[in-house]
Amino acid sequence: MQRPEIARLMGLVEYEPVPAGMRYAWNWGGSVTLATNAGGRFTSTVDAPRGSAPRGIEWADVDAKYRALIGDSGLPAPTQARLLEMLHDFTSVSGLLPLLHR
């Protein structure tokens, strides 16, 4: 969100709560319409985004999200890696707290 090209695009976005005639199966559905300077309009709708329960959640999605967010935690890289391993094996959750209280 901090990258200049993303900030520039966000300035071009107009929010419309629910376009007329649209109904989403899930509360987090959404549509995007791209309007070109030449007058063209292209719309894409997603009822359930990738990584949501209706579409299924893959470990690759969990891992990518984890890595995107854990970098700001200040935890050492080996601890970050060990926490991710523990997420994959919930039976070892009892060892999670000592890692976080360093």
pLDDT single digits (tens) 25-45: 666 777 888 888 899 999 888
pLDDT single digits (tens) 52-95: 778 888 888 889 989 999 988 889 999 999 889 888 887 656 66
Number of structural domains found in the chain: 2
Is there a contact between 87 and 96 (Cβ–Cβ < 8 Å)? Answer: no
Q: Does residue 52 fall inside a structural domain? A: no
DSSP 3-state assignment of 60? helix
Q: Does residue 26 fall inside a structural domain? A: yes
For residues 76 and 42, membership in a common domain is answered with no
Q: Does residue 54 fall inside a structural domain? A: no
For residues 34 and 9, membership in a common domain is answered with yes
What pTM value is reported for the model? Answer: 0.47
Domain extent for 20: 4-46
Q: Does residue 84 fall inside a structural domain? A: yes
DSSP string, 11-47: TT----SS-TT---SSTT-EEEEEE-TTS-EEEEEES
